[in-house]
Structure 1
Amino acid sequence: MSKLMCVVLKFIFAVLSLVSISPAAARVNETTYMRVLPSTGQEIVCNRCAPGFHLRAHCTDTRQTECRRCSAGFYTEFWNYIPECLPCDSCFEHQVVKQPCTHTRNQVCECEEGFFWNFHFCKRHTVCGAGYVVKSKGTPYADTMCEFCQNGYYATGAPGNKVCVPHKTCRPEERLLLHGSCWHDNVCASCNRIVEKGWDGLIKPLLAELFAQQKPHRLQRFVNRFVLRDDGRRRISQRRSSSENYLLHAQEWLRRATPEQLIELPDKLTKINLNNLAANVENKIAKFREETKYCSNNIP
């Protein structure tokens, strides 16, 4: 079949389709709809119900469409002829109302501060781990994006506002007690300061930061087993205390700990199966004690 013949046939079909449209159908638009009367088969054009209303009764050849206003908690957003209004959505756990339900629009919910929508529920924003900073802050619709500090830098600052800063350089009169990592700075101290503070006084801030990096259930084990029991206080259940409380108990224990208690700390951590933390603590204590021996012969 030639190209010209195809064009002619398409034109003929288009004309026939226009001819076949009924007069009633030609008058249908956004605010109307066509209905066939069951008794006569006659086609008539009915008014749709406005937004905020729903169909109560179809039109007939003697009266127009009857509409009813949506009840509270229900809505219709467009011109319609549906028998019932649509129920407004409900907010889920950790959601707040962004747009309230009205007769003409659905309720819109979004995740509350600190959460984002994860397919079917609100999930808590990722907290950037040790050595990471926030690359892009989380929103109600996207998780926090984290970025690792490059070599020679460490992450410091309040959670959620940490920045990567370069490791400091020790002054000529200072010893480098511990090389910096992605989560802590170089630890430098002069002999005068080492004698004044002792190795235990210098290492405690570092150990407190190590405890801050632990998950709540790990801190709970340490606090219940070695902190509250030694003080004669009752164990804390996870329901009755937050991760911040566990950390405060653990860091308070560190603040009051003697050099002997710090030396025993790796064994305590091993007993509650915190083996990686125990090894980390033991290595840092050994490093501090070794370096400070150059300044004092009274290191325990």
Structure 2
Amino acid sequence: MSMLLLPSLFLLSGLHTTASVVDSIPKYLHQDPVTGKTLQCNRCLYCHSFCTGNQEVERECSPTSDRLCRCKEGFFSADDFCIPHSECGPGYGVHTKGSLTMNTVCEKCSEGFYSTSTSSLDSCVRHEECASGQIALLQGSVYHDTVCGSCQDLANGGETLRTFLSGFLHKMRVGKIRKFVIRYINDPEDEEEEDEGCMTERPVSKQRGPLQEQIRKWLHKAPEEQLRKMRQMLRHCQLSFTAERLKKRFSEIKKLSPNCTLSF
């Protein structure tokens, strides 16, 4: 046999061997329930993707594709993890809501708007405009709405007084709010004691949102007689400057209505 024919024979032999191996792989016929097409599979793979934690199924496993996962509502994907959307705290509103691929974008409330919530959905809300015959008992800030009414409404107490004090206390700096919460809300057993300072060692939140929520709940149920002593309570908590600001605001309101019986 000619030596020139040997390479050709080896090549043909290799091709025959390869073809035999390919033909020996089992084939499976399967009808795709989605497309209706008959598929010929050489080898079936296990669906190896499993949605866990804060993931959910976007597309189930099929004969032609693996399972596809995505982040649940309220989460976004970052570095292969599903992370909760950030919440905008009091004084801030949602500028852009979070998506499956992007976090929440917050913005500080502009002048004339406010936010009392800690939320990944709420935007800033416009301040209320007082109706005819009413005055702004307390101007709105980024943390609370304008409190409208009359001097006599405030003097009569009730919901107007509670709303007024809520807005007034919420305007304080976080450190001062913590002092008040520690002294009169977190440790109510000692509220009758007139010691010389607030106990700052007790575990209390350092975030404005939770502190404001504590104050709102306390104001809702506190006896009105206690609320009428707010100036004294502030002074007992070494918040004398805040107590003077409250006194000044009461005086300004009363000047607008000389016949008002406002007295705190």
Give yes or no for TM over 0.5: yes
Using a 3 Å threshold, how does the CA distance of structure 1 residues 80 and 187 change in structure 2: closer, same or farther? same
**Match of 2:32?**
none
Of 123, 127, 136, 1:162 maps to 123
Please report how far the alpha carbon of residue 298 of structure 1 lies from its aligned counterpart in structure 2 after TM superposition: 5.3
For 1:43, give the aligned amino acid.
Answer: L
Contact 1:96 1:110 in 2 (8 A): yes
Match status 1:114 vs 2:74: yes
Please report how far the alpha carbon of residue 64 of structure 1 lies from its aligned counterpart in structure 2 after TM superposition: 0.4
Kindly report the root-mean-square deviation, in angstroms, between the aligned alpha carbons of the 2 structures: 5.0
Instruction: Give TM-score scaled by structure 2 length.
Output: 0.57
**Match of 2:14?**
42
Using a 3 Å threshold, how does the CA distance of structure 1 residues 247 and 183 change in structure 2: closer, same or farther? closer
**Match of 1:241?**
none
**Match of 1:254?**
219
Deviation readout 1:146-180 (Å, 9 max, x if unpaired): 33333233347995243442552564x44433222
**Cα distance in 2 between the residues matched to 1:101 and 1:116:** 22
**Cα distance in 1 between the residues matched to 2:58 and 2:237:** 47
**Match of 1:291?**
252
**Match of 1:27?**
none
Match status 1:64 vs 2:23: yes
**Cα distance in 2 between the residues matched to 1:100 and 1:128:** 34
More strand by share: 1
Please report how far the alpha carbon of residue 284 of structure 1 lies from its aligned counterpart in structure 2 after TM superposition: 6.7
Percent identity of equivalent pairs = 21
Using a 3 Å threshold, how does the CA distance of structure 1 residues 98 and 127 change in structure 2: closer, same or farther? same
For 1:299, give the aligned amino acid.
Answer: S
Using a 3 Å threshold, how does the CA distance of structure 1 residues 158 and 245 change in structure 2: closer, same or farther? closer
Unaligned runs of 5+ in 1: 1-35, 47-58, 70-77, 231-236, 239-243, 271-277
Unaligned runs of 5+ in 2: 1-9, 29-38, 192-202
Match status 1:197 vs 2:157: yes
Equivalences for 1:197-236 in 2 at 5 Å? 197=157, 200-206=161-167, 225-226=186-187
Contact 1:204 1:255 in 2 (8 A): no
Of 36, 39, 48, 1:88 maps to 48
Q: SS of the counterpart of 1:64?
A: helix
Match status 1:147 vs 2:111: no
**Match of 1:102?**
62
